[in-house]
Structure 1
């Protein structure tokens, strides 16, 4: 049997600002990595994805 739990947060203004910054940075890194992968694919369409070394989020 599968169960699901929902939690609701009521952050104060300081926590809201922290969450906005954190999620903004995460979104930026994700989009940068995605654009790098798309660019690499367009340049080398026959390239095997599993053998290609892409930078990790720490490199951005």
Structure 2
């Protein structure tokens, strides 16, 4: 399964909402952001772990496995 990783580190793996607080950051600034808290559900995320959970969920959804 091929998964598009776009925005997977900016979307909360708990509530599914995109954190728009990062929209204005340069790529360098974003890559320097290691942890963030969702402004909607207040879950704290490690950027890379959050992205991996979103990629896993996208892949499972493509396979219709949940």
Q: Under TM normalisation by the shorter chain, which class is it?
A: 0.3 to 0.5
Q: TM-score, normalised by structure 1?
A: 0.35
Structure with higher strand content:
2
Higher relative contact order (CA 8 A, sep 6+): 2
Q: TM-score, normalised by structure 2?
A: 0.32
Structure with higher helix content:
1
